[in-house]
Amino acid sequence: MNPNIEEVLLAEPRGFCAGVDRAIEIVERALAKFGAPIYVRHEIVHNTYVVNELKAKGAIFIEELSDVPPGATLVFSAHGVSKAVEQEARDRGFEIFDATCPLVTKVHVEVAKLAKEGYEFIMIGHKGHPEVEGTMGQLSSGIHLVEDVADVATVSPLQTEKLAVVTQTTLSVDDAAEIAAAVRARFPRVREPKQQDICYATQNRQDAVKIMSPQVDLVIVVGSPTSSNSNRLRELAQRLGTESYMVDSADELKAEWFEGKGRVGLTAGASAPEVLVREVIDRVRAFGAVSVRKMDGIEETIKFPLPKGLKLDDIPPPGHIS
């Protein structure tokens, strides 16, 4: 027991976004409609609990399409896929459901439209992240990745008249702004998206951590190590001067983190279900927390439609993860 913990402050908003909700529902409805197994290319969303729950219901997660048997039903993850992967899946004749977040698809559409007009692109993002691979793979060439300000100095487009910036949706808002400023300084004519590519969920969760961090002595982020937006939340709290840790589940919490801490802030990345947040609260209560207070924040009402073929009301999502 730790008698110092006065209260837990819950960030608002936190946890599931509309794109994650939709992606999970697509797999659950596909399972209900077609039966197990349903193949999913890459983790549907970057969360261990979600992936394990769906595995238990009959989803099989693969990276290579050659691991999917002919005639199978295949779901693309929320992160999106390259044109080459999309084409290969079609050529192999799978029944395909695309769980790419519509906000990622929006970036793909913008890339395709501007490429037709002769644009090259500078993409701000993390190398190797599936969303970045998917977006860069919308074109066979002409997208140059920059991960930080230093990369901006070395990037070498073939021309600078028609150059546009695109961004991974789950970046640090502040880092991305700094990198975009460096891009502007080097390429003053660069075209920037009318509405930023970083999504509303990433922005809102980071804004909530900015409000919460100065009010607490410790920030706990619920999220898996592979989750980009969860990592950004932990880094943000740390940058704001508040000790912070990310946990995949309540089991990973360490009693010593809470020693001498009066107020504990708690948030969750966009792919982390609320059930894990509840488990973390229970554990922090066991450590000695006396009360839990939900902070004021933006209420998110956005909801994305399901793809054709999975909309029917007669396919109820069985035991939807939340």
Site string for ligand SF4, 151-170 (x = CB under 6 A): ------------------xx
Q: Is 19 in the site for ligand SF4 (CB under 6 A)?
A: yes
* Inter-CA distances, 227 with 11, 15, 61, 300, Å: 18, 12, 17, 20
Stretch of 112-120, 138-146, 188-196, 198-206 contacting ligand SF4, by CB under 6 A: 198-206
Q: How far is CA 283 from the centre of its chain?
A: 26
Stretch of 97-105, 111-119, 209-217, 272-280 contacting ligand SF4, by CB under 6 A: 97-105
CB of residue 278 to ligand SF4, shortest distance in Å:
21
Helices (H), the chain: 18-34, 48-57, 83-91, 102-116, 130-136, 149-154, 173-186, 200-212, 228-239, 274-287
Phi-psi category of residue 203: left, alpha or beta, with phi > 0 → left and psi -120 to 50 → alpha = alpha
Interface of this chain with ligand SF4, residues 258 to 277, rule: CB under 6 A: 270
The binder of ligand SF4 chosen from 122, 165, 201, 221 (CB under 6 A): 201
Set 28, 43, 120, 131: catalytic member: 131
Q: Is 10 in the site for ligand SF4 (CB under 6 A)?
A: no
The binder of ligand SF4 chosen from 24, 89, 103, 310 (CB under 6 A): 103
53 is catalytic: no
> Using CA of residue 285, residue 288, residue 293, residue 299, what is the dihedral sign?
negative
Give me 148's structure tokens: 């930080």
Nearer to ligand SF4, 53 or 131 (CB): 131
The binder of ligand SF4 chosen from 5, 9, 10, 17 (CB under 6 A): 17
- Dihedral Cα 84, 85, 90, 95, nearest 10 deg: -160
DSSP string, 197-254: SS-HHHHHHHHHHHHHGGG-SEEEEE--TT-HHHHHHHHHHHHTT-EEEEESSGGG--
Q: Are 221 and 271 in contact (CB under 8 A)?
A: no
The binder of ligand SF4 chosen from 18, 166, 219, 280 (CB under 6 A): 18
Nearer to ligand SF4, 68 or 176 (CB): 176
CB of residue 283 to ligand SF4, shortest distance in Å:
26
Nearer to ligand SF4, 223 or 265 (CB): 223
Q: Is 72 in the site for ligand SF4 (CB under 6 A)?
A: no
Give me 219's structure tokens: 């920030």
Nearest C-alpha neighbor of 164 from the set 150, 149, 184: 184
Q: Is 202 in the site for ligand SF4 (CB under 6 A)?
A: yes
Nearer to ligand SF4, 45 or 72 (CB): 45
Q: Is 172 in the site for ligand SF4 (CB under 6 A)?
A: no
Enumerate residues 6+ apart whose C-beta is below 8 A from 266: 8, 9, 10, 11, 14, 219, 220, 222, 277, 280, 281, 284
Site residues (vs ligand SF4, CB under 6 A): 17-20, 78, 101, 103-104, 169-170, 199, 201-202, 229, 270
Residues with a catalytic annotation lie at 131
